Amino acid sequence: MNHGPNEAGRLVVDDVDLVFTPARRDPVVALENLDLEVEPGEFVCVVGASGSGKSTLLRLLDGMLTPTKGTITSGSAPVAGPSRDRAMVFQSDNLLPWSTVIDNVAYGLTLGGMRRSRARQAALRQLELVGLADSAGQYPRELSGGMRQRVNIARALAVDPQVLLLDEPFAALDAQTREIMSAELLRIWSTDRKTVVFITHQIDEAVYLADRVVVLSARPGTVREIVPVDFERPRELSLKRTDPFGRIVDHIWSLIEVEVRGSLGLS
């Protein structure tokens, strides 16, 4: 597969299998024959029943896992491990409790060899973007859950990745905060439109955020359907209360309802 100079931020998953082989247990086929292309600057959400391989797919994209079969390409290069062109945001913020907000955001830059003063300047720009410049000197324990996740996103953006990978970053937040954080994420993303792959269990969250929603089947996970979301941007939260929005949510739910019930032993 040939990639030109405009491929930065493009992800290609080509016929990927991932098989886990735990000691003294049968192999587990997590993903099978999975194909996916994400265009530069596209916001893609991935949904599916528990155990469908959503987080596993994200770790493959980041290079934390290696496919058993098939290839994954980021930009012009095969994914052979974690790289600064891709940044991961986890469900837990994992901030350093002994460091201030600004030093947490600057951490990846200083780790890469940037002088501390320059790294802090770059970190402050990201804190301004996420609306937390006034909290630069505070410690994580002094922030709310939503604020800590904004710091987490700022830390990922500080290294200027081409691709942002988010693994249910708002799952631990209350419903109201989660709504506001979704809108904030779209505002932050709209500034430079990095490629985003976002994992979520919340179908309405996926439809609100995404250009396309990828629906994975139950294990072994493969792409069941890719649902386009054509609502204009910027999007207001009131979009969620419209009939066209509800029809897309209902369609995606119809694709996975049986598998979700099965995962709960309710089939």
Helix 145-158 and helix 101-111, axial crossing angle in degrees, nearest 10 = 30
Predicted TM-score (pTM) of the model is: 0.92
Q: How many CB atoms lie within 10 A of CB 39?
A: 13
User: What tens digit of pLDDT does each residue of 3-47 get?
Assistant: 444 588 999 999 999 999 988 888 999 999 999 999 999 999 999
Provide the 8-state DSSP code for 155: H
Burial classification of residue 55, based on how many CB atoms lie within 10 Å of its CB (0-12 exposed, 13-18 middle, 19 or more buried): middle
User: What tens digit of pLDDT does each residue of 39-50 get?
Assistant: 999 999 999 998
Instruction: Kindly give the residue spans of alpha helices, DSSP state H, lying in the chain.
Output: 54-62, 101-111, 116-129, 145-158, 175-189, 203-209, 243-263
User: What tens digit of pLDDT does each residue of 61-70 get?
Assistant: 999 999 999 9
How high is the pLDDT of residue 266? 61
How high is the pLDDT of residue 25? 86
Binned at pLDDT 50, 70 and 90, residue 109 comes out as very high
Which residues, at least 6 apart from 50, have a Cβ–Cβ distance to it below 8 Å? 201, 260, 263
* In the chain, domain spans: 90-160
How high is the pLDDT of residue 23? 84
| Mean of pLDDT over the chain | 92
- Closest Cα partner for 36 from 241, 245, 225? 225
Q: Is the pLDDT of residue 190 over 90?
A: yes
Across 49-53, 65-69, 125-129, 184-188, least confident range? 49-53
Binned at pLDDT 50, 70 and 90, residue 161 comes out as very high
Determine the Cα–Cα distance for residues 53 and 73; give it in Å rounded to an integer.
19
Q: Which helix (H) or strand (E) holds 28?
A: strand 28-38
- Any bridge partners for residue 34, and if so which? 16
